[in-house]
């Protein structure tokens, strides 16, 4: 009996394959069917009567149908570069292009560049309470675009003149016809629903022109997101939204806070948060930073708009599949200045991390519970004495006018969500400001839906598999088949064990 069920189920798989509903691996399908059907039939053969076997067979067919329905997804890997830099109120001038090239690590180009800046304007009264001036944001975008595209043989011909406001900035995706054509040159392997975390292919790392996807400025906090044109042509980029949260002076001015970007790449949603938190190394200052993190979580919202597509999109930070939080988070070291400098001189980063405020706050339920950060294997990024200097501020007696600051890892990159692997975490050595820029490169899974996917319905499965010669001959074979089909459908509809499968399939057939 188990061999009979397996043979008939194999016919169902062949029907799916000949209908081009799945191009999965045949051995995988056989192995999956063997586990589903034979395993269940052998579990208790002595007590199974004919009706129970038929019902179990029908239940497994629903699981199989659910399996093939989910095989319409496939997984790709893309590489995301995330960077943060406090530029101390300085404009992007002079030889900064060389520093930017080193920071972006363009020898190992990513598919998406997400850059967060702090203090792109001096934090003075006029800039904090005055009207937003997009000049510096435009200058930074122009320099970033030129650096990315010149490096890959795509000269930056058009200056960046678009003024970005609090409104959503949506890049117009490629037409559906173009996207369909882009699939013709690639072979994708469907992933069983139980194994969708397994990767099947990786985006080619061929150089390509980058386009600005989103940009947002709030006083000195600034975020800029760039994507390869290749991704825009192949995949559906949708629901690009921006949001800002001011939580500085009096809790509502923009000298501190965050700017965020929400977007979806086919079936996977992303959120990028660039933040600048409260400064200070006095006891209790970490509590102010924790409070601002909480405020950003609560007040960051990406509302619906008339330009959205029909797919639901996350409204809050934690509603996204992949989340990246980065910036000048300003967490310091619970350590005296001279002891910190001794450990820095020894390059004992592991020992120094034991006194890191952010690490302690995560451990003791302060902030970012469940979030991840790579191992820090570089020197503290703050505070350097001045521009063009490799010496930390303070530490030398008698130096007038210089602030005494214990060095610390103020500039950080964290992430949350499954399907993310950090490939590198490092600092760059630009002396442009009193902070060193920090970067991380990630490999991230994306779920992509094939266009125009069709699926065989339950009735088609049953009428094909349960032919009259399979259920026994009778003087009225059609009536017997119809009666058995009705019985099986009625039994499965009454089974709470597989209600979720029925619900999924019903929704799909009605759509």
Q: What is the pLDDT of residues 161-204, one digit of tens each?
A: 333 333 334 454 545 555 444 433 333 333 343 343 333 344 44
User: pLDDT at position 108, please?
Assistant: 84
User: pLDDT at position 222, please?
Assistant: 98
Compute the residue count for the chain.
Answer: 511
Pairing mode of beta strands 201-202, 73-86? parallel
Question: pLDDT class for 66, splitting at 50, 70, 90?
Answer: low
User: pLDDT at position 493, please?
Assistant: 53
Tokens of 207: 């150089």
CB 406 within 8 A of CB 281: yes
**CB contact set of 190 (below 8 Å; sequence gap of 6+):** 22, 23, 24, 71, 72, 73, 74
- Please give the C-alpha separations between residue 60 and each of 232, 287, 408, 486, in angstroms, as whole numbers: 39, 54, 58, 17
**CB contact set of 499 (below 8 Å; sequence gap of 6+):** none
Q: What are the start-end ranges of the H helices in 111-203?
A: 125-129, 135-151, 176-183
Question: pLDDT class for 217, splitting at 50, 70, 90?
Answer: very high
Averaged over 328-341, what is the pLDDT?
A: 96
User: pLDDT at position 107, please?
Assistant: 83
User: d(Cα 422, Cα 167) in Å, to the nearest integer?
Assistant: 32
Comparing CA positions, the residue from 218, 227, 299 lying closest to residue 263 is 227
Q: What is the mean pLDDT of the chain?
A: 75
Scan for tokens 């005055």, then name that residue.
Answer: 130
User: pLDDT at position 171, please?
Assistant: 56
User: d(Cα 48, Cα 102) in Å, to the nearest integer?
Assistant: 69
Averaged over 52-72, what is the pLDDT?
A: 58
User: pLDDT at position 176, please?
Assistant: 53
- Please give the C-alpha separations between residue 181 and each of 172, 175, 178, 235, 497, in angstroms, as whole numbers: 18, 10, 5, 11, 42
Q: What pLDDT digit, counting tens, does each position of 112-135 carry?
A: 999 999 999 999 999 999 899 999
User: d(Cα 381, Cα 419) in Å, to the nearest integer?
Assistant: 29
Tokens of 479: 């009536």
- Please give the C-alpha separations between residue 53 and each of 42, 43, 466, in angstroms, as whole numbers: 11, 12, 13
Q: What are phi and psi of 267, to 5 degrees?
A: -95, 15
Q: Which residue has the higher pLDDT, 221 or 12?
A: 221
Q: What is the pTM of this model?
A: 0.70
Averaged over 266-272, what is the pLDDT?
A: 94
Q: What pLDDT digit, counting tens, does each position of 464-511 carry?
A: 444 444 444 444 555 544 555 555 555 555 555 545 554 554 554 444
Burial class (CB in 10 A: 0-12, 13-18, 19+), 10: middle
Tokens of 291: 């409070």
Structural domains of the chain in order of their starting residue, each with its CATH number:
71-151+208-395+402-449 (3.60.10.10)
Residue 97 has pLDDT above 50, yes or no: yes
CB 271 within 8 A of CB 245: no
Tokens of 31: 């192995």
Question: pLDDT class for 289, splitting at 50, 70, 90?
Answer: very high
Q: Which residue has the higher pLDDT, 11 or 168?
A: 11
User: d(Cα 321, Cα 239) in Å, to the nearest integer?
Assistant: 14
User: d(Cα 80, Cα 100) in Å, to the nearest integer?
Assistant: 17
Question: pLDDT class for 434, splitting at 50, 70, 90?
Answer: very high
Question: pLDDT class for 79, splitting at 50, 70, 90?
Answer: very high
Query: Which of 175-184, 221-230, 372-381 comes out lowest in average pLDDT?
Result: 175-184
Residue 426 has pLDDT above 60, yes or no: yes
Tokens of 104: 């972006």
User: pLDDT at position 37, please?
Assistant: 39
Query: Which of 398-402, 407-411, 412-416 comes out lowest in average pLDDT?
Result: 398-402
Burial class (CB in 10 A: 0-12, 13-18, 19+), 335: buried
């Amino acid at each position: 009996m188990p061999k009979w069920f397996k043979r008939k189920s194999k016919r169902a798989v062949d029907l799916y394959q000949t209908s081009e509903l799945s191009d999965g691996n045949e051995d995988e399908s056989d192995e999956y069917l063997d586990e589903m059907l034979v395993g269940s039939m052998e579990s208790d053969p002595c007590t199974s009567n004919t009706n129970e076997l038929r019902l179990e067979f029908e239940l497994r067919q629903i699981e199989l149908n659910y399996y093939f329905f989910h095989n319409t997804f496939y997984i790709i890997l893309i590489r995301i570069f995330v960077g943060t830099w406090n530029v101390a109120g300085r404009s992007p001038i002079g030889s900064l292009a060389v520093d930017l090239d080193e920071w972006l690590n363009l020898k190992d180009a990513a598919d998406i560049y997400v850059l967060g800046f702090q203090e792109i304007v001096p934090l003075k009264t006029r800039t904090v309470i005055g009207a937003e001036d997009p000049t510096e944001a435009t200058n930074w975008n122009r320099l970033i675009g030129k650096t990315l595209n010149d490096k890959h043989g795509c000269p930056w011909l058009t200056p960046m003149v678009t003024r970005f406001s609090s409104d959503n900035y949506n890049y117009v995706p490629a037409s559906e016809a173009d996207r369909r054509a882009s699939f013709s040159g690639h072979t994708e392997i469907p992933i069983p629903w139980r194994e969708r975390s397994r990767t099947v292919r990786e985006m080619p790392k061929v150089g390509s022109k980058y386009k600005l996807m989103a940009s947002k400025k709030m006083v000195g906090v600034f975020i800029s997101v760039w994507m390869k044109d290749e991704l825009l042509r192949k995949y559906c980029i949708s629901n690009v939204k921006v949001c800002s949260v001011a939580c500085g002076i009096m809790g509502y001015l923009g000298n501190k806070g965050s700017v965020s970007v929400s977007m979806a790449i086919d079936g996977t949603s992303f959120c990028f948060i660039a933040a600048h938190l409260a400064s200070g190394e006095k006891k209790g200052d970490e509590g102010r930073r924790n409070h601002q993190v909480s405020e950003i979580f609560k007040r960051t919202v990406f509302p619906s708009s008339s330009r959205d597509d029909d797919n639901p999109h996350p409204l809050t930070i934690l509603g996204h599949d992949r989340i990246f939080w980065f910036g000048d988070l300003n967490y310091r070291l619970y350590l005296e200045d001279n002891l910190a400098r001794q450990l820095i001189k020894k390059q004992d980063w592991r020992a120094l991390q034991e006194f890191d405020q952010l690490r302690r706050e995560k451990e003791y339920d302060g902030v970012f519970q469940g979030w991840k950060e790579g191992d820090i294997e570089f020197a503290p990024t703050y505070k350097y004495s001045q521009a063009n200097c490799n010496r930390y501020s303070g530490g030398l007696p008698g130096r007038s006018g210089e602030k005494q600051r214990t060095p610390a890892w103020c500039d950080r990159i964290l992430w949350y969500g499954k399907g993310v692997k950090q490939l590198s975490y490092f600092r760059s050595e630009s002396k442009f400001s009193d902070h060193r820029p920090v970067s991380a490169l990630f490999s991230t899974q994306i779920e992509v839906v094939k266009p125009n996917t069709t699926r065989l319905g339950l009735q088609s499965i049953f009428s094909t598999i349960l032919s009259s010669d399979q259920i026994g001959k009778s003087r009225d074979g059609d009536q017997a088949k119809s009666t058995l089909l009705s019985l099986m459908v009625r039994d499965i509809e009454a089974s709470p064990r597989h209600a979720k499968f029925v619900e999924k399939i019903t929704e799909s057939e009605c759509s």
